[in-house]
Amino acid sequence: MFRVASWAVLAALLCLFAPAAAQAASFDCAKAGTPTEKAICKDPAVSKLDEQVAAAFKAAQGLWPAGNWSAYLRTEQRWWMKDRDRICKADAACLKQDYEQRLSFLTHPSLKWMGRYVAGRCPADGVYLDVTPSYPDAGIGVELYICPSTSGNMLLQAAGTVDASGKLSFDDAGCPRVLTFTQDTATLSAPKTEHCALGTDERVFKRDPAKPVYVAE
């Protein structure tokens, strides 16, 4: 009698915990359809990373309460997932590395400044700023290009840490420039000196919610 009761209890416990195991990733593993999804569910370490990335993505959406930040981040996440599936497929080691890198990006202290900021009309007569994280510190990297191609048309490149007021100050070949961030804009300014070859007027760039930085023109 005791033995029968013990097996009954064990069976009940297995039934209780089975759904949790199937839902170990950020999605329902019972509905995994692609090779990548199946590989995520099969590997506990990758499955855990998938959960962590999903949680970090949700938290990151709240970095700016309004504006186009949330739309930008959703677009960026979709492109990352496409690249994840295309490059790693069902390779667990590749997925683990990719998830770790993604987690570093989504938890980067300067994440809310990231993006592609455009001034003018691309590709006709515009310019754009690509703002990316720098590792291992909490800073950012900035590159200014003429639209539409990044091939041989970089106007300036800089790196540094954005201060509490949203400003990044840097030297551009003897020209002291300031990049000031707000919720959806980055304003590039410089003093009126002979060293500031790109001009002295302020230029306002607006974050493009449809263009993650690594998407080719």
pLDDT one-digit tens code per residue, 119-178: 998 888 889 999 999 988 899 999 999 887 666 688 899 999 999 999 999 998 888 999
In angstroms, rounded to a whole number, what is the distance separating the alpha carbons of residues 188 and 168? 10
What pLDDT shows up at residue 122? 85
In this structure, are residues 161 and 169 in contact, taking their beta carbons and an 8 Å threshold? no
Whole-angstrom distance, CA of residue 176 vs CA of residue 192: 10
The reported pLDDT for the residue numbered 133 is: 93
Instruction: Please give the model's pTM, rounded to 2 decimal places.
Output: 0.83
Q: In this model, does residue 9 exceed pLDDT 60?
A: no
Of the candidate ranges 7-16, 124-133, 205-214, the one whose mean pLDDT is the lowest: 7-16
Q: Residue 151: what pLDDT?
A: 65
Q: How confident is the model at residue 32 (pLDDT cuts 50, 70, 90)?
A: very high
* pLDDT exceeds cutoff 60 at 5: no
Higher pLDDT, 1 or 88: 88
**pLDDT of 201 above 90:** no
How confident is the model at residue 12, as a pLDDT?
44
**At a CB cut-off of 8 Å and minimum separation 6, what does 139 contact?**
110, 133, 159, 160, 161, 162
Residue 214 pLDDT: 61
Backbone angles phi, psi at 101, to 5 degrees: -65, -40
Comparison of pLDDT for 170 and 7, the residue scoring more: 170
Name the residue with tokens 């590989």: 39
Per-residue pLDDT reduced to its tens digit, 63-117: 998 999 999 999 999 999 999 999 999 999 999 999 999 999 999 999 999 999 9
**Measured CA angle at 206 (ends 200, 209), to 5 deg:** 155
CATH topology of domain 111-207: Lipocalin (2.40.128)
Report, as an integer, the average pLDDT of 42-56: 97
Per-residue model confidence (pLDDT) at position 24? 58
**Ranges of each domain in the chain:** 2-106, 111-207
Phi, psi of 95 (to 5 degrees): -60, -40
Amino acid identity, position 212: P
Per-residue confidence (pLDDT) for residue 136, from 0 to 100: 85
Predicted pLDDT at 50: 97
- Structure tokens given for 111: 């994440």
- pLDDT given for residue 152 in this prediction: 65
